[in-house]
Amino acid sequence: MAIKWTNNASTTLASSISAVATTITVASSGGSLFPTLGAGDYFYATLVDSSNNIEIVKVTGRTGDVMTVVRGQEGTSANAYVGGDKFELRPTAAGFAAAAEGENIVDLPISQGGTGAGNEGDARANLDVVQDPGANGIMARTTANGSTARTITAGNAGISVDDGNGVAGNPVIYNDGVWSLTAGDGISVSAPDGDITIDNDGVLSFNGQTGDITFTADPPSVEVFTASGTWTKNTGLKAVIVEVIAGGGGGSTRGTSGKTTYAGAGGGGGGYSRKLILAAALGSTETVTVGTGGTASKTGTTNTDGGSGGTSSFGSHVTATGGGGAFKFDGAAPATASSVGGSGGLGTSTFSNTPAEGINIDGAKAADVQGSVGGDGGISGFGYSGAGAGAKSNAAGAAINSLYGGGGGGGFSSGTNNAATGAAGVVIVYEYY
């Protein structure tokens, strides 16, 4: 943008204008006496009527003899004029001030924030270099008083640059196809599915240490419930894996038919269930129930059934039912007589994903018994326990060999030789942070 001048530019109005008109038409061919205006260029002109009333206007555009003007400049008032009144390019205070300012800008060197050019044309050329580094480019300082256009280039796969020239907005760097890193305690990776690998290819050091970088994770915390209670969710928990084992069934005592004695059967093993649960699906606390072992027959002279094992559960998320108690000898004819082993408990959790986020395993049913040796109890669904051994030679059913969910052994003979109780269950919570 610059003020323009020509010498001896004077003509008259071709027709009358009002005090608010913003276009003025001068006498035919009179417009050619005035400056040619480019974008942002202008000159000041003076209107004079027959009474010597004067108005200064700013001419911002000229097409042939038609001028586009801003009225009433430099303290003058807009008036109506008639055809034949004068229209002249005269020196004005604002015109001189604009010219002086323009000369200072052209002469200002680069070291003082100028263009370093001695004329308008060279100044514009230098400004073009500074203002337009090219597509996907930036201006970089390369010498004490100089700069060079540099190009922004996409790097490793997944990184792209858009709108690098800044014309429509700021340059944007995208990481399309690259999993995002989320700030946390150290480094964590957020991704919807699949394995994530963090590589340090080409990285020479990390926190002052050279060589390969190894990322490790803390092992899960484990909480074991051998009795019913309450589990509490801690801050920072991501997920849990919960295992529940229900109580084992109790064994039955011996039975008689006439002069014949039949040994008791063992109780069934408790059911088992395992499930992965995200922290968001858990309450601040969850009720933990540990199933008790089933009761055993307590007399050697009366035909008695064993009791069922109790259900184990973790809130409403993971459940398993206890093993069944053994049934006493049924009193049928000796050729077909038997004591019936307890049924296995069931894993009864429900799953919503495919593949499932857990598994249910049923406990083992104890064998039926027909003879003079007590039956063994069934093992739990996960096999944490051996089963109770059946009684032999006037002995009681054996205690459970290991813990958690095994069925009690069957009793034999008379007197106080009793069957064994089932083993209690357990709930195990693996916490991942």
pLDDT at 64: 95
- Contact criterion met (CB below 8 Å) for 68 and 61: yes
248 residue type, one letter: G
Which ranges of the chain have pLDDT less than 50? 103-107, 111-112, 300-301, 333-335
Determine the longest span between alpha carbons in the chain, in angstroms. 153
- Is pTM beyond 0.75? Reply is no
- Which residue's entry shows tokens 């514009």? 124
Residues 386-413 pLDDT 10s? 566 666 655 556 555 557 999 988 877 5
Q: Do 254 and 300 form a contact (C-beta atoms < 8 A)?
A: yes
H or E, element range at 96: helix 93-107
The pLDDT assigned to 408 comes to 87
Distance (Å, whole) CA 285 – CA 84: 98
Report the pLDDT value the prediction gives residue 19, as an integer from 0 to 100: 95
| pLDDT tens string 4-24 | 999 999 999 999 999 999 999
pLDDT (tens digit per residue) in 210-219? 666 666 677 8
Comparing CA positions, the residue from 43, 80, 88, 83 lying closest to residue 61 is 43
For residue 91, the 8-state DSSP code is: -
Tell me the three state secondary structure of residue 218: coil
> What single DSSP character describes residue 14?
S
Q: Could you give the CA distance from residue 206 to residue 261 in angstroms, rounded to a whole number?
A: 78
Q: What is the DSSP string of 320-368?
A: EPPPPPPBPP----TTT--BBPPPPP-B-----SSS-SEEEEPPPPPPP
> Which residues on neighbouring strands pair with residue 239, listed in sequence order?
278, 432
Task: Tell me the pLDDT tens digit for each residue of 70-88.
Answer: 999 999 999 999 999 999 9
Q: What is the pLDDT of residue 271?
A: 95
Distance CA 405, CA 90 (A): 111
**C-alpha separations of 157 from 136, 153, 177, 359 in Å:** 18, 12, 8, 40
Pairing of strands 172-174, 160-162: antiparallel
